[in-house]
Chains A and B, each alone.
Chain A
Amino acid sequence: MSLKSSLCQTSEWIRFLRRYGPIPRNDNMYDEVIQRALRRNKIQPIAFETEYLNELLDNFRAAEPKSVILTGIAGDGKTYYCRKIWKKLGGNPENWNRNDKVHSLELGNKQLVVIKDLSELNPEEKLTIISHVAAAITGQDPTKVYLIAANDGQLIEAWTEAKENAGVVDVQQVIEDMLVEEMHEKEGFSVKLYNLSRQSAAVIFPRILDAVLKHPGWKGCAHCEQQNLGCPIWENKLRLEGTESEHTTKERLTELLELCELNEMHLPVRQLLLLVANALLGHPDAKDKLLSCQQVPKIVEKGKASIASLYRNIFGENLSERRRESISVFKVLRKFGIGSETSNQIDNILIFGVDDPELQVHYEQLVLCDPYYGADRNYQIQQRAYLEGEYAGNRADFLNALQSQRQRLFFTLPSDQATELKLWSLTIFQYAGEYLSNVYKVLSKEHKVSQSIIFRLVRGLNRIFTGFLVNNQDQLILATSGSYSQAKISRIYEEVISVLKKRGESVSIEMDKNRRKPSLVVRLSREVKPVYFNLTLTRYEYLSRVADGVLPSSFSQECYEDVLAFKSQVLKRLACRKQLEGEDEDSEESMSIRLLDVNNEGIASPRPLEIYI
């Protein structure tokens, strides 16, 4: 009896957790729905520290609070912030639950007006509110302070519609600038703008993970007999948690999210929660593709526990392709191509490791030692059949199993073997590991990026800047075609910029202070403003591959255009420098041009041509 009741208690929690997963639901009232479910089932909320809450509360508690605009995409936590602030400032939770569109509260001698979703207002209400907000922001109405949440599209639209009023135009421009230029405040206006889409997923994800994995709801599992019979939910939980000494999976997942962030792909909190819920509970045969406690015994009995593998679930493999493509977190994570990308070495271990004495050690350590999601019975049977060429019809099954194995390896390959076994060749970004640890993390600690990396990127840039397969890497070559700066082939040598510091010239990789992301910086002289090139993961990979001479055509066009635009900027600054230095034009009788000459070693150098007129 006691066993049964404890099972039920835990299954309540699992049922609640499923709500965060990829099940069909009404997205607009997300926070409200979750709140109701919590109250009904008396479950403790999943609580974790959010980035701006304290900062926002400090603002409203200050003597001269400023109005706040919260923007972000669906699932960034706009409503959550509004609710929290309301409560912390003494608002009545019951009033909040009444679901009014506009709430207000005394705040010292001012009135705080909270609008938790601007799009809920009808057009007339919106117009009125916007002009009031404009008055508060410009200081015409010092009696009111606003807290407004809206996604950026609605926000801009609302202000554009209200343009009639002169004060509004002013404020609209300010808000647009703050949005596009990623600023919190602008002088002279009593407003702060928080774009919640700028919250770092990499920072917040470990907190979410902890909050879910340490939730008291799991307590019941201790008494559950399924725990020892191979419950996949429990297995997934343990693997995601890791141990004191070994938490590779959690680390790799966080790294992937960090890379997404660095590659300008933002994932809101709601998507991160969805990811955790799906990783733990996903199974293609379950109802809504998410396990509940009741279904576990059957799945285990049928020997289908292995396809509940969290390594697959992280990429939404438990879902139909259509469903998967409609969920941004899976779309983004699948861009890494984990599962379909591989190296000969890894595949050899997975396929031939069982028989090949040279690969045996690796096979045992990477496959056999994991009988649950690794060398489970199914895998071994399929592998044997594949190797012996039996029933060819099921090759596809084995290839699928292979894909799952690669996904598993990506999350479990021990860190000390990551270099030897080329962990990142399991993704399409072969330089991602280097980018993360030798560029991003190095910069985060305020250290310098190794010169060899900069040299390689400069070599890549030079090849694109000139259109020749050059090997120069200690100087950035600026070349044009004489008529068109964006030409594919540039034969006119304009100038070179030293990579190492030299009379104000340099090429370096630095952390952009506002965005906390790496930038490639070209300095032409002390007097001329440097040129910044946002070094995203994709661009880093692109330049590195161009430098190494092997370039898959898939992602080249976009980066190519970006690099050419960057070249134009550098050329523009070069012109500034020339102007400042007052460089002499050629004398009347003769002039010279410099053509780019590339020798057999691929080193480009200028060849001056003298012309007498």
Chain B
Amino acid sequence: MTEILPRPQPIEQTTLTMWVDESIWGHRLYDEQTPWLCILEMLCITQSEAYNGQAFVENEYNRLQYSTYPRLYLRNILFNNPQIEAIASEGLDDPERWRMWIEAIASNVGGLSSHNFSYLKTRFASFKDFAEVVKFIQSNAIEGDSNKRWSSRFVFPYGPDCLYEDLRIKGSQITNDRRFFGRTGELLYLMLCRSGRGEAILSHLQRLGIIASEDSSDYKCSKWNKLVVALQPEHDRITTKSSGSPPYLPYVKLSEYERLADDWLKILGCNLPDYDALPHIVTITGLHLIIYILSRAKAVLKELEQPRFILEIVAPRKTIIRDLASDEYQKNNSLPQRAIEHYIRGTIELPEWQVCLESFNPFEDVRDLLQERFAWPAKDEEELDGVGYPEGLLDKLREKAVKRHKQHFAKCHGSWTREIGLSSSRGSRRTRYAPTDTLLRTLVFACVPHRMEFQDFLEKLYQNYGFVIGDKQAEDIISSGDADREDFAANAERLEHRLASIGLLKRLSDACAYVQNPFAVEVS
């Protein structure tokens, strides 16, 4: 039995009205935090901890607290600075441009009660150069085409000086409202800590120059990081604030953590040029988080087999595989909700429940039991009128928990599968599992160190992620009569063509093909 850690005491009753999703998956997985933002949050923590020599070391379970960097000068310049381009293209002399711009930004700046942008003048040969650099960094911003508030937009993580936290900024006030850094990155960080692969991952991140353990004046970082440094005044580089209450990850050890970390190491081990590994890390992390959600749900439901995904390799016409892939998608999508309902109902099986029922004051005792187990109902909980018996209380809890679950947690599966390119509704009204080329490329980097026979590759995808693509992995579906062998064989064949068309597969003949990691072999 996997060890489950006690939940933190006390919990933040201000933001948490109950403790249900959290006890199964942790505090917390948040649908609006895309996999990219998870990685950024996680990198922020890693940098802060690395600076204290603590990276990926969890001394005491679920006690993580760290420092974060606001970097408000940088963020104002990059994302709250609409005038810069207009000023750069106006026919003015250089000092005049600077003057105009400093005036313009002063009227607009957020999160800084006092500010002085004149340090920039000495760092660039001209205002135009400054504007070019800003434009370049903007063009590489993470999810640059999103329309999020300016304080939730992020520069590409070139190095330690590019990492900062998501904030809510109103006037000169800054608060951490966990709008897009919703702690999923904190959980990811804890998973990596508990995977036992932290040290190896840290050394890769240091090699890439994203994380530095030394003092900021000492580390050798990439020139892109230096470019970002050039936009920040010296004192702002080191300003920090403390993170809030610690996150909670329920399980001490899970094979899911190890697999996640192993895939990180495999992708980082491909030695891709520049920062090319990062998008793949993001994708694979998203995939593992989805697997984590489903496998924990299955554990609660006491279903023994690992999560399964039937993948349609998009066919020009509707196929039986497309139907199966949508059915499977629906099934998996509803798995977490089934899990919490089962979990809540399970209270009846507890000996404590019986004790409560037989007690002098069953309703009150059950209320206390639920409060202890689910942090619900609060003392001043409304809507309990009319609930006069213990089961009614439980039903009420279930109803409220499902409602709460549906607001965010239930959307994680759908949002993340779409985000990483695992699901699609192309050519159909129903969403189904259908991988994009980007995801396929990531899978090859994670699974194929050099080259691998195509059938072996399919088997590996099944073993590692529960992906069913070819007929050999679909034996039970075929024998149940839901599909024919040919349907799955054709699906695998389509994958073969797709991989070949993006240069990841070498075909020797009709009968034999190899999946190749393009960074391990020469282009031919």
Q: Which residues of A contact B (CB under 8 A)?
A: 72-74, 151-156, 160, 179-180, 195, 197, 480-486, 491-492, 531-534, 557-558, 561-562, 565-566, 568-569, 571-572, 575, 585-586, 591, 593, 595, 609-613
Are B276 and A484 in contact (CB-based, < 8 A)?
yes
B139 contacts the other chain (Cβ, under 8 Å)?
yes
Docked Cα-Cα span, A483 to B224, in Å, equals: 9
Determine the distance from Cα of A568 to Cα of B523 in the docked complex, in whole angstroms: 10
Q: Are A152 and B136 in contact (CB under 8 A)?
A: no
Would A484 and B279 be within 8 Å (CB), given that A568-B273, A611-B227 are in contact? Answer: yes
Given A180-B451, A561-B501, CB of A575 within 8 Å of CB of B511: no
Check A612/B511 contact, CB under 8 A, given A483-B275, A557-B501.
no
Bound complex: CA of A561 vs CA of B498, how far in Å? 12
Give the CA-CA distance A609 to B506 in the complex, in Å: 43
B-chain residues with CB within 8 Å of residue A561 when the two chains form the complex: 501-503
Given A562-B503, A611-B123; 8 other pairs, CB 8 A cutoff: A151-B512, A482-B224, A483-B275, A565-B523, A568-B276, A610-B129, A611-B124, A613-B123
Q: Measured between alpha carbons, how far is A562 from B522 in the docked complex, in Å?
A: 12
Cα-based distance from A151 to B122 in the complex (angstroms): 70
Instruction: List B503-524 residues whose CB lies under 8 Å from chain A.
Output: 503, 506, 508-512, 514, 518-519, 522-524
Cβ–Cβ contact A568 & B519, under 8 A: yes
Q: How far is the CB of A252 from chain B (nearest CB, A)?
A: 28
CA of A373 to CA of B57, assembled, Å: 82
Bound-state CA distance A532–B133 (Å) is 35
Interface check B178, CB cutoff 8 A: no
Among A156, A486, A595, point to the contact of B453 (Cβ < 8 A).
A156
Contacts of A160 in B (CB 8 A): 453
Q: Does B229 contact A (CB under 8 A)?
A: yes
Q: Tell me the complex Cα distance, A595–B140, Å.
A: 14
B interface, CB within 8 angstroms of A: 122-125, 129, 132-133, 136, 139-140, 156, 158, 220, 223-224, 226-227, 229-230, 272-276, 278-279, 451, 453, 501-503, 506, 508-512, 514, 518-519, 522-524
Contact partner, B123, options A72, A562, A612, Cβ 8 Å: A612
Q: Are B510 and A153 in contact (CB under 8 A)?
A: yes
Of A152, A591, A593, which contacts B509 at CB under 8 A?
A: A152
Contact partner of A197 (CB less than 8 A), chosen from B123, B223, B275, B509, is B509
Given A73-B510, A565-B503, A609 and B524 touching (CB < 8 A)? no
B453 and chain A: residue at smallest CB distance: A156
**How far, in Å, is A524 (CB) from chain B's closest CB?**
14
- Least Cβ–Cβ distance between B157 and chain A, in angstroms: 9
Known: A483-B158, A561-B502, A611-B123. A569 touches B523 (CB 8 A): yes
| A180-B506, A483-B275, A491-B136 given; A611·B511 CB < 8 A | no
| Nearest chain A residue, comparing its CB with the CB of B224 | A482
Q: How many angstroms between the C-alpha atoms of A484 and B279 in the bound complex?
A: 9
Q: B142: shortest Cβ distance to chain A, in Å? A: 10
Chain B residues near A155 (CB, 8 Å)? 512
Contact, CB under 8 Å: A179 / B508: yes
Question: Which residues of B lie under 8 Å from residue A565 when comparing CB positions?
Answer: 503, 518, 523
Q: Which residues of B have CB within 8 Å of A569?
A: 522-523
Name A593's contact: one of B156, B227, B272 (CB within 8 Å): B227
Residues on A with beta carbons closer than 8 Å to the beta carbon of B511: 73, 151-154
* Chain A residues, Cβ within 8 Å of B140: 481-484
Shortest beta-carbon distance from B168 to chain A in Å: 27
25 A-B contact pairs sorted by A residue (CB < 8 Å) = A73-B510, A151-B510, A152-B508, A152-B512, A153-B509, A153-B511, A154-B511, A179-B508, A180-B508, A180-B514, A481-B139, A483-B274, A484-B274, A485-B274, A486-B276, A491-B136, A557-B502, A568-B276, A575-B273, A586-B223, A586-B226, A593-B136, A609-B125, A609-B133, A612-B122
Q: Which residues of A contact B229 (CB under 8 A)?
A: 613
CA distance A155 to B506 in the complex (A): 17
Interface centre among A74, A484, A531 (most CB of B within 10 A): A484
A194 to B279, CA, bound (A): 42
With A and B bound together, what is the CA distance between A316 and B451 in angstroms?
Answer: 38
The complex places the Cα of A561 from the Cα of B136 at a distance, in Å, of 24
**A-B pairs, 3 with minimum CB distance:** A153-B511, A153-B512, A152-B512
Alpha-carbon gap, A197 to B510, bound state (A): 11
CB-nearest residue of chain A to B513? A153
B275 CB contacts on chain A under 8 angstroms: 483-484
Contacts of A571 in B (CB 8 A): 273-274
Residues of B within 8 A of A585 (CB): 220
Q: How far is the CB of B266 from chain A (nearest CB, A)?
A: 18
For A485, give the chain B residue with the smallest CB separation. Answer: B273
